[in-house]
Amino acid sequence: MITQDTIVNYLDATPVLRALLESEPLHVSEIGDGNLNFIFRASTPQKSLIIKYAPPYLRLLGEDFKLPQQRICVEMHTMTYFKTIAPALIPNIYHADEKAFLFVMEDLKEFETLQKVQLKTPIALSVYEKLGDFLGKIYAHTPPLKELNYYENATLKNISENYIFRFPHIPNHEALAIPPFFKPLPKDAHFYQGIEMLLELFLNAKETLIHGDLHTGSVMVKEDKIAIIDAEFSFFGPLGFDMGNLFAHILFGEIYALFEGKKVQWKEAINAVWKSFGHDEHILQTSVGFCGAELYRRLVVPAKAKPLEAISTQKNKEEAYHLVDALAINLVSNFLHVKHIEDFYTMIERHLCTKTH
């Protein structure tokens, strides 16, 4: 096990890292609030580095929820590949140690997550354009052929399968955490058929190597610069899964802005992503469906949408939860009817119109 207390010894014993940090004294602190892994910052007065370590369990749920540490090796491999196709958007990795289940990357200390910045100020549309460009690049490229499981971890894919497509749709499932103020709307056969279709795509559509967890918490921003992180959920799957996940979290931030009386730009943000992506229309349909599935599951699983939790009044939070629920049902039930991006906008506007007008 790597801990805050043992990091210094590890750094001292690794010449390439000791050389990067150069001088004494060395200070190590745990940072971040990720669900899966521990993040440490090692710093001297002149330089700092980030160490990401995968413990043999899920950080969010504790030591009883066991997870294979090899998951972080997948992240190292995928991030290294992404760096070759989108070098300006991926942070530098200085050291990767598959035996210790950690890697060391550049410190993005002047950056914040897109999720946090969304809560403070409207995001420059160029940020969303770069994310669309990134999605276009991973759709257009194929990574070098490697052995099975080099770019994906079966356990993490199974977690996504269960917590997006299975557990949220089983009444009273023990893995859920439904707020006491929220009673989900009844779902009809069209909704459950949509979830089954999306699950089938998630499991079997091997379009390209995708990030697998692309949301506003895995994108770091500094003004209009971005850095994409946290690719441990990567797998060969449908590009619409990444696109839809990103759309959902853009909407969470915009719904927060709506209820807090801030500037709303959801249409401009989604349009910037989509236009910059610039590929097949069929991706749009699946993106809309996966967006709906992600919107709904964040209402009922332990890992909540932080923008919704940040809404300042209980009344508005309750209203936001019910708005998201209704929107998610519409998207999942009707994604196959989406032919153009304007159809997606119409579906969103139908649920946001009571607040926007």
**147-187 per-position pLDDT tens digit:** 989 999 999 999 999 999 999 999 999 999 999 999 999 99
Cis before residue 25, ω within 30 degrees of 0? Answer: yes
Q: Please, where are the H alpha helices in the chain?
A: 4-12, 15-21, 71-85, 114-118, 125-140, 154-160, 189-204, 239-259, 266-277, 282-300, 306-309, 314-334, 341-356
Does the structure show a pLDDT above 70 at 357?
Answer: no
- 125/60 same-domain check: no
Domain total of the chain: 2
**189-216 per-position pLDDT tens digit:** 999 999 999 999 999 999 999 999 999 9
Question: Is residue 49 classed as helix, strand or coil in its secondary structure?
Answer: strand
Closest CA to 310 of 61, 176, 116, 31: 116
Structure tokens at 49: 């580095």
Higher-confidence residue: 239 or 33? Answer: 239
- 78/117 same-domain check: no
Distance CA 10, CA 2 (A): 9
Q: Which residue range forms the structural domain that includes residue 49?
A: 4-106
Does the structure show a pLDDT above 90 at 279?
Answer: no
- 28/119 same-domain check: no
- 83/164 same-domain check: no
Report the CATH number that the domain containing residue 303 is assigned in CATH.
Answer: 3.90.1200.10
- 98/229 same-domain check: no
**284-306 per-position pLDDT tens digit:** 999 999 999 999 999 999 999 99
pLDDT band at residue 282 under the 50/70/90 scheme: confident
Distance CA 140, CA 158 (A): 26
- 348/232 same-domain check: yes
Higher-confidence residue: 354 or 196? Answer: 196
What is the average per-residue pLDDT within 239-268?
A: 97
- 169/310 same-domain check: yes
pLDDT at 52: 94
With a CB cutoff of 8 Å and minimum separation 6, the contacts of 345 are 267, 270
Mean pLDDT value across the chain: 94
pLDDT band at residue 69 under the 50/70/90 scheme: very high
pLDDT at 356: 46
Question: Is residue 51 classed as helix, strand or coil in its secondary structure?
Answer: strand
- 288/320 same-domain check: yes
Closest CA to 113 of 31, 172, 58: 31
Which residue type occupies 25?
P
- 263/314 same-domain check: yes
- 43/170 same-domain check: no
- 70/121 same-domain check: no
- 43/145 same-domain check: no
Report the CATH number that the domain containing residue 53 is assigned in CATH.
Answer: 3.30.200.20
Distance CA 321, CA 329 (A): 12
**27-38 per-position pLDDT tens digit:** 899 887 677 888
